[in-house]
Structure 1
Amino acid sequence: MPLWTKKPPARKTFRRTSGLRTTALTAAALSLALALTGCAGAGTTRPSAARAHAAPGPQAARFGTVDCREARCIALTFDAGPSENSARLLDILKEKQVPATFFLLGKRHILKYPELVERMAAEGHEVASHTWDHKILTRISEKEIREELVRTNEAIERLVGHPPTLMRPPQGRTNDTVHRVCRELGLAEVLWSVTASDYRTTDPALITKRVLAQSSRDGIILLHDIYRGTVPAVPGIIDALKARGYVFVTVPQLLAPGKAEPGKVYHP
């Protein structure tokens, strides 16, 4: 006979402990899920709010050829590149005439593919920071946060002629210290509303399905061009969303005529 049937008190204790452990694990999983979907805290600014609070004047009337106060805009963003897949992605975006925002990693990425960073900027895409080495910023010191961002800013500036104005914290994890450092460095934080979890699948059809199911006006789509299944999914995503009436823009275009303010967090 199993031991626990002979000792009811021990069985009850085990059940209570097990229940507490399950509750703790569930809470931790929910916390991670919130971060991974870009819901990393309160105090975020929606694109529509950024547009509404823009200073009046003729220079604030439009941004390029798209006015997201009128158009059904959506932003396509890619994290953690460049990679060996980025050249093909840039070919697709050029063919489809779609601008994107690239949140780039420094180590092993910007340093390895400088020509792709230059091409991104030359072809009208927004080049932004995803930190130097993808450290979780909420787990490191303020000095280390600054180093992660400064090194990436400097590497991008050397290649495109100016530092980035946008950054995306790894896993969407941020806090007041990150906000303060970003404000000092002239960076706004950008989260997302659509994720395909493309780090968990190589199936382009599944990636496409997930993106289309979550997309809405003013959405910010998170993808990773470092994964094998992502770039093949991009043409179908673009075609399907265009058929629904969406206009693709960069993140600055999505906020215009407002401007991303350093230290603020933008989330659809």
Structure 2
Amino acid sequence: MSLLRKKAAARIGSAAALAALMSVVLSGCSMDTTSPSTARKHADGKHPADFGPGDCRRAKCIALTFDAGPGPNTPHLLDVLKEKKVHATFFLLGKNHVMKYPDVVKREAAEGHEVGNHTWTHKILTKQSADVARQEIEKTEVAVEKITGTRPRVMRPPQGRTNDSVSKICKELGVSQVLWSTTAKDFSTNDTALIEKRTLEQAKPDGIILLHDIYPGTVPAVSGIIDTLRKRGYTFVTVPQLIAPAQLKPGAIYRP
């Protein structure tokens, strides 16, 4: 394992592997999750919609999302996405990533990607006091806004762990929570072919793919994932475009 990979693993924590293997844990959460199709079905039609490259009420859509960056591999990933004409959703860590790579954050926003929040230091929000959980979310909101001029409107809770207290904080801060349907478990392997295989096996319409742009095996898999899924008839969209014409609801939990 390289030094970079060791540092990344330490930041995210070994518990992330267990969380991904066990899917998503909604700790103490009584709120329902909302699927993209349900969100679209209940859209009020009162607001202009950003459908992106396709109306997901008719198109076979899927969203690429990347957690825990930006990092040294992110500029190459952005090159790939630009070449493929794909917009993704990035859930960024604040302290050691947003603050270290502000130019990459600015580029993500400038090139049309959805810039989201993955907290300040990757603390498990359900294990924190309300004040600490709020700080973890809000500090990254503020940092991204200073760089891009816009606050993130989507947030992915570390390990997918959320509850009523976290949802209340997100509602007050104006951010929606986004979970996922596909994980390649790329935190556990540098095998690019395996990452691609796992992603393609799990891909489904209205899916949200979880990858990490901080791991060296992941970015090389993205081109093949895009090409194969396009051959299967998929249209790539950001998370807000996936639920359009519905509007994101602060505090809501979106999960395919």
Q: TM-score, normalised by structure 2?
A: 0.89
Cα-to-partner distance string for 1:21-56 (whole Å, 9 max, x where unaligned): xxxxxxxx9xx5478523536610000011111112
Q: Distance in 1 between matches of 2:138 and 2:89?
A: 19
Q: What is aligned with 1:260? A: 248
1:190 alignment counterpart: 178
Amino acid at match of 1:37: S
String of CA shifts for 1:70-126, please: whole Å, max 9, x gaps: 000000000000000000000000000010000000011000000000000000000
Distance change in 2, residues 1:257/1:33 (3 Å)? same
* Structure 1 equivalent of residue 38 of structure 2: 49
Letter in 2 for 1:49: T
Q: Distance in 1 between matches of 2:19 and 2:212?
A: 17
Structure 1 counterpart of 2:115: 127
> What is the aligned-residue RMSD (CA, Å)?
1.6
Q: Which residue of 1 aligns with 2:125?
A: 137
Amino-acid identity (%): 60
CA distance in 1, matches of 2:25, 2:248: 18
Report how far residue 57 of structure 1 moved: 4.8
Counterpart-to-counterpart distance in 1, 2:142 and 2:22: 27
Q: Which amino acid aligns with 1:199?
A: F
Inter-partner Cα distance in structure 2 for 1:89 and 1:37: 26
Q: Of the candidates 147, 151, 160, which is equivalent to residue 159 of structure 1?
A: 147
Distance 2:71 2:55 in 1: 32
1:190–1:267 contact (8 Å) kept in structure 2: yes
* 2:20–2:185 Cα contact (<8 Å) kept: no
> What's the secondary structure of 1:59's corresponding residue?
coil
- Post-superposition shift, 1:58? 7.6
| Structure with greater helix share of residues | 1
Find the aligned partners of 2:118 and 2:138 in 1 and give their Cα distance.
11
CA–CA separation in structure 2 for the residues paired with 1:206 and 1:194: 14
Larger of the two Rg values belongs to structure: 1
How many correspondences in the alignment?
237
Match for residue 97 of structure 2? 109
Deviation at 1:66, TM superposition (A): 1.6
Normalising by structure 1, report the TM-score: 0.85
Give the equivalent residue in structure 2 for 1:14: none
Runs of 4+ in 1 over 6 A off after TM superposition: none
CA distance in 2 between counterparts of 1:56 and 1:251 reads 18
Do 2:206 and 2:242's aligned partners in 1 also have CA atoms closer than 8 Å?
yes
Confirm or deny: 8 A CA contact 2:20 2:183 kept in the other structure. Answer: no
Which deviations, in whole Å up to 9, do the C-alpha atoms of 1:165-209 show, x marking residues without a partner?
Answer: 100000001111100000000010000000000000000000000
